[in-house]
Amino acid sequence: MKSNDIILQTAAKFVTFIIMIFSFYIFLGGHFGPGGGFVGGLLTSSALVLMLLAFDIKTMSTVIPFDYKLLIPIGLLVALGTGVGSFFFHVPFLTHAFGHFTLPIIGETELATATIFDLGVYLVVVGITMTIIQTIGESE
Amino acid sequence: MSWLHLAILSPFILAVFIPLFYKNFRRIHTGWFVFPLPAVLFGYFLHFIPMNQNGDVYTKTLKWIPSLHINFTAHIDGLSLLFALLISGIGALVILYSIFYLSKAKEALHSFYVYLLLFMGAMLGVVLSDNLIVLYSFWELTSLSSFLLIGFWYERKKSTSGAQKSLVITVFGGLSMLAGISLLYIITGTSSIQEMSSQIEVITSHELFIPALILFLLGAFTKSAQFPFHIWLPDAMEAPTPVSAYLHSATMVKAGIYLLARMSPIFSDNAVWFITVGIVGSITLFWGSFSAIKQKDLKGILAFSTISQLGLIMSLIGVGSAALHYDYLDDNFYVIALTAAVFHLINHATFKGSLFMIVGIIDHETGTRDIRKLGGLMSIMPISFTIALIGGLSMAGIPPFNGFLSKEMFFTAMTNVMEMDIYHLETWGVLFPIIAWIGSIFTFLYSIILVFKTFTGAYQPEKLAKKPHEAPIGMLISPIILASLVIVFGFFPNILAYTIIEPAMSAIAPQLVQGGERFYINIQFWHGLNLEIAMTLGVILIGILLFVTLKKWTKIYDLLPEKFTLNNLYNGLLKGIEQGSKSITSFFMTGFIRDYLVYIFSFFIVLVLGTMWAKNAFQFNFSNVAPIGVYEAILALVTVAATITTLLSKSRLTAIISLGVVGYTVALFFVLFRAPDLALTQLVIETISVALFLLCFYYLPQLKRNKKLTFRLTNFLISLGVGVVVTLVALSANSNRLFTSISEYFLKESYREAGGKNVVNVILVDFRGFDTLFEITVLGIAAFGIFALIKLQLERRNENEKQ
């Protein structure tokens, strides 16, 4: 039985992008406003879940052929790597650095290694949420 | 490593090779490989005698754990040498005997000799160690090897239960001794006996002195089978007879006596020592000899006889400690008690060893040890009879054997007790000679029973399993040697006096010979007509009278019902402990998580409230409380209402949704309290968890009816208690702020140090990034856990479907 949820599917396509962009905004702005890797990750996965609800697991896995479980170790490695990286500069584990740079197009921006760490958090959160939901969804 | 250390360790080394000998030389009895070692050791120890006679000691140290002051120091003085000679000498004889006693074909000889060698080495270690920790190690090794030897015939239930009993009791004593050693170490800072002896003043004036003394006494009493710890020894008679002869008459049971003698320079100038050792020894002497008479098993008689004789030696050591009370040697009348103790120690080893071997021979040749079935063996086994007669009469204290001499000295010592003017002995001290005399009568009686009930009277071949005949000569050599020693020591006691007893005495009571004096001991065979001779005559007369009328008065043994015996008490105690712990465990380990939560929460309430009460923490100060706004009040009301709904709701769905309400209200609280990050996260997480709850709800089995939570008073009280306690703690903590918060630093330095204006995020990823690292690890583990749980379940379900 195939139900016709064309409105949902169409709306989901648009809304997903809006949520995605919002989640990136929240993630990147975490150092200055509310947000950060955790909430950003949760929002990204909620966008993906919306897609899941509008379509189904099979469609999702053909559109995004990616194993979300992989995101967990990748995210952990990124976070750990940030920490280990501080050893190359003879400072204690997880010492962060930041600086102000002038980038093309964007202009003067503050770049901080803490953001890379936050990226790790972000990836892990997306990974675990998607893993849990997909696993439970696939089970009967 | 000196020769002395090698001598102590040689039995262990040989024990390693015994299984090899057993495997490769099946035609030769393994005992022949063992026999030379104790013989050589005996010769080696003999050559220390001249040195000891000059009053010298021999000490060699092998470093073991120097940082803890534990070194394997071997020390030879008169006392250790006496024991070392006993151990190696009787060890050699017992091994010779066991070669003929144990069958090459039927028995597991390799285990037997390994255990026996372990025991011999451990025993040598006990008597030759100067360090108490090393002594303790060897001490426990004797318990362990004795356990193995008693349980040698492990298919028999009695053997294993006897072994277990002896292990429980002796290890109990051993551990007490370890506690005593620790106390002495605390007092003196050393575990060497020699160094302790130089600090006697420090030890005796210390408050831990009496506890240490009592703990040492417990160790000695359990090992030496003193009342009321004697009950393991009769049960240990299930061991092979060579073991009984060696361990349970000559060596191991004397380890306790050795310990007392060894520690007596430190402990003995004290009323507690005198009274405890003296009285326990006397009671044991009486009880052992009294109980020996009702035994029907020859080894049972000998076991109780050993207990009684050990009690005799023990009481002599106790009484002998009075000698130290008088600091002069000349005319010191009380020295004779110590002399008697040492002399009787040697005598007992000789005659008891021979008697055990003879009993073993009887068992071996007739197939029974039951005294009711035996009789009239005199003409069939004349050599055994002669040896038994010598040993028995010596044990009874009849001239001209050595037991007579030590018994006379025993009487002298005990009658002297009355004349002491210490510890109020002039009044109650009269009990000592009376108990000694009564004990001696019973001793005479059981010795007579042992010899004459077995060898004279009616011969009953129909009751015997085998046709009896005289033992092979190899089996008789050892008892013959021991019996000859009984006679030699009886006629020429002074060959022992100068060589062994005097140095041993100097080791037991060094205080008396400090001024360059030495003991002069002359054991006289005949010392004139005196009280002691009269007492001995009385013993013999009454003993014979009792023997003749034995049948008429043995009914008194039935007066004491089985219920009130010490064995019954011990069994009841063990059973009680087992059942008690079982019932306690099954009382509180119910298997219901609800019960365990009740314990956890009750303890939480009791501990926290108790601590707050003890520390006087009920101080509430509301001066730094912020004003409560309208929004907070509304949100609080909503939370309370949602909580009550959750608790009282009839359906699960309502509970889940009201729980969601609580969660979203908390998010609103975060908004109110200006925590935007928390509010964001809380909103998303609450949504996800409510979704998961709904999922769980959906999959609940159909059988469950929607039922309201039943009310239980305990649960209500405990949850109320936990709530109140947590509230009190929160209020109290809020009222007692000791330090200003660290958050000022974060607020000030967040942008300057970390380049971020969101302080919460900066703390999470920068100041405290380490925590975050592990939190995301936890999340990862949870995700993989869920994945694994569900996938594994799916696979299992698939498997079930295939089947």
Contact B762 A31 (CB under 8 A): yes
Tell me the C-alpha to C-alpha distance, in Å, between residue B670 and each of B162, B632, B640: 72, 11, 17
Nearest to B769 among A117, A127, A135 (CB): A117
Residues of A in contact with B765 (CB under 8 A): 36-37, 96, 114, 117-118, 121
Res B706: pLDDT:
56
Determine phi and psi for A110, rounding to 5 degrees. Answer: -95, 125
ipTM: 0.91
Q: Which residue of A has its CA nearest to B695?
A: A136
Is the predicted pLDDT of residue B20 greater than 80, yes or no? Answer: yes
Q: Which residue of A has its CA nearest to B787?
A: A135
* Higher pLDDT, residue B4 or A22: A22
Res A2: pLDDT:
60
Smallest Cα–Cα separation from B358: which of B281, B302, B277, B442?
B302
Question: With an 8 Å Cβ cutoff, is A43 touching chain B?
Answer: yes
* Shortest Cα distance, chain A CAs vs residue B752, angstroms: 10
Q: Is residue A131 part of a domain?
A: yes
Residues of B in contact with A79 (CB under 8 A): 772-773, 776
Contact B758 A33 (CB under 8 A): yes
Contact B779 A125 (CB under 8 A): yes
Q: Is residue A117 part of a domain?
A: yes
Res B590: pLDDT:
87
DSSP state of A99: E
Is the predicted pLDDT of residue B207 greater than 80, yes or no? Answer: yes
Question: With an 8 Å Cβ cutoff, is B696 touching chain A?
Answer: no
Strands B58-65 and B70-76: antiparallel
Contact B793 A127 (CB under 8 A): no
pLDDT tens per residue, range B572-592: 888 999 999 999 999 888 888
- The rounded distance, in Å, linking the Cα atoms of B176 and A79 is 57
pLDDT tens per residue, range B604-631: 999 999 998 888 877 777 777 788 889 9
| pLDDT-based confidence at residue B800 (cuts at 50, 70, 90) | low
- The rounded distance, in Å, linking the Cα atoms of B584 and B590 is 11
| pLDDT-based confidence at residue A49 (cuts at 50, 70, 90) | confident
Q: Is residue A72 part of a domain?
A: yes
Question: With an 8 Å Cβ cutoff, is B688 touching chain A?
Answer: yes
Nearest to A110 among B755, B765, B770 (CB): B755
pLDDT tens per residue, range B280-304: 888 898 888 888 888 888 888 889 9
Q: Which residue of B has its CA nearest to A38?
A: B681
Q: Is residue A17 part of a domain?
A: yes
Residues of B in contact with A39 (CB under 8 A): 677, 680-681, 684
Contact B780 A121 (CB under 8 A): no
Question: With an 8 Å Cβ cutoff, is B792 touching chain A?
Answer: no
Res B196: pLDDT:
83
Smallest Cα–Cα separation from B177: which of B274, B255, B65?
B255
Instruction: Find all residues with CB under 8 Å of B334, minimum gap 6, and list them.
Output: B319, B320, B322, B323, B325, B326, B413, B416, B420
Smallest Cα–Cα separation from B667: which of B677, B656, B653?
B677
Total count of domains within chain A: 1
Res B424: pLDDT:
64
Percent of chain B with pLDDT over 70: 92
| Contact call for residues A101 and A111 (beta carbons, < 8 A) | yes
Q: What is the DSSP secondary-structure string of B467-526? A: ---PPPHHHHHHHHHHHHHHHHHHH-THHHIIIIIHHHHHHH-GGGGTTS--------S-
Res B793: pLDDT:
74
Question: With an 8 Å Cβ cutoff, is A98 touching chain B?
Answer: yes
Residues of A in contact with B695 (CB under 8 A): 136
User: B-contacting residues of A 59-88, CB under 8 Å?
Assistant: 69, 72-73, 75-76, 79-80, 83
Res A114: pLDDT:
85
Mean pLDDT, residues B357-375: 84
Q: Residue A80: which domain range?
A: 6-138
Res B766: pLDDT:
85
Question: With an 8 Å Cβ cutoff, is B784 touching chain A?
Answer: yes
Overall size of chain A counted in residues: 140
Res B326: pLDDT:
64
Contact B758 A43 (CB under 8 A): no
Question: With an 8 Å Cβ cutoff, is B195 touching chain A?
Answer: no
Res B374: pLDDT:
80
Instruction: Find all residues with CB under 8 Å of B373, minimum gap 6, and list them.
Output: B366, B460, B463, B464
Evaluated on CA atoms B262, B265, B270, B275, the torsion sign reads positive
Res B707: pLDDT:
60
Res B803: pLDDT:
55
- The rounded distance, in Å, linking the Cα atoms of B36 and B161 is 33
Residues of A in contact with B766 (CB under 8 A): 96, 114
Q: Which residue of A has its CA nearest to B792?
A: A139
Q: Which residue of A has its CA nearest to B772?
A: A121
Instruction: Find all residues with CB under 8 Å of B700, minimum gap 6, and list them.
Output: B652
Res B705: pLDDT:
58
Q: Is residue A1 part of a domain?
A: no
Contact B769 A139 (CB under 8 A): no
* Shortest Cα distance, chain B CAs vs residue A1, angstroms: 22
Tokens 């903590």 correspond to what residue?
Answer: B733
Mean pLDDT, residues B496-525: 71
Contact A31 B772 (CB under 8 A): no
| Contact call for residues B12 and B121 (beta carbons, < 8 A) | yes
Tokens 């030696």 correspond to what residue?
Answer: B313
Q: Which residue of A has its CA nearest to B685?
A: A42
Best of B686, B765, B794 to substitute, by most chain A Cβ atoms within 10 angstroms, is: B765
Mean pLDDT, residues B163-185: 91
Contact A36 B758 (CB under 8 A): yes
Residues paired with residue B71 on neighbouring β-strands, in sequence order: B63
Mean pLDDT, residues B134-150: 91
Q: Which residue of B has its CA nearest to A118?
A: B765
Best of A84, A123, A128 to substitute, by most chain B Cβ atoms within 10 angstroms, is: A128
Nearest to A34 among B758, B791, B793 (CB): B758
Best of B678, B772, B776, B794 to substitute, by most chain A Cβ atoms within 10 angstroms, is: B776
Tokens linked to B715: 């649960």
Q: Helix or strand or coil: residue B209?
A: helix
Res B519: pLDDT:
64
Mean pLDDT, residues B254-279: 85
* Across A53-57, B581-585, B779-783, least confident range: A53-57
Res B175: pLDDT:
93
pLDDT tens per residue, range B672-682: 998 888 998 89
Contact B776 A132 (CB under 8 A): no
Res B561: pLDDT:
63
Instruction: Find all residues with CB under 8 Å of B425, minimum gap 6, and list them.
Output: B417, B418
Smallest Cα–Cα separation from B543: which of B234, B228, B352, B292?
B292
Res B293: pLDDT:
84
Residues of A in contact with B784 (CB under 8 A): 69, 72, 131
* Higher pLDDT, residue B265 or A38: A38
Contact B790 A135 (CB under 8 A): yes
Percent of chain A with pLDDT over 90: 26
* Higher pLDDT, residue B330 or B795: B795
What is the rounded average pLDDT for all residues in chain B? 84
Res B794: pLDDT:
64
Overall size of chain B counted in residues: 803
Q: Is residue A99 part of a domain?
A: yes
* Higher pLDDT, residue B408 or B520: B408
Question: With an 8 Å Cβ cutoff, is A35 touching chain B?
Answer: yes
Determine phi and psi for A100, rounding to 5 degrees. Answer: -105, 130
Contact B677 A128 (CB under 8 A): no
Q: Helix or strand or coil: residue A9?
A: helix
| Contact call for residues B457 and B399 (beta carbons, < 8 A) | no
Q: Is residue A118 part of a domain?
A: yes
* Shortest Cα distance, chain A CAs vs residue B63, angstroms: 45
DSSP H/E element including B61 = strand B58-65
Q: Which residue of B has its CA nearest to A45?
A: B684
| pLDDT-based confidence at residue B748 (cuts at 50, 70, 90) | confident
| pLDDT-based confidence at residue B633 (cuts at 50, 70, 90) | very high
Mean pLDDT, residues B59-73: 85
Mean pLDDT, residues B394-414: 83
pLDDT tens per residue, range A93-128: 888 888 777 777 777 777 788 888 999 999 999 999
Residues of B in contact with A122 (CB under 8 A): none
Q: Which residue of A has its CA nearest to B794?
A: A139
Contact A42 B677 (CB under 8 A): no
Is the predicted pLDDT of residue B66 greater than 80, yes or no? Answer: yes
CB-CB neighbours of B452 under 10 Å: 16
Contact A31 B756 (CB under 8 A): yes
Mean pLDDT, residues B721-744: 85
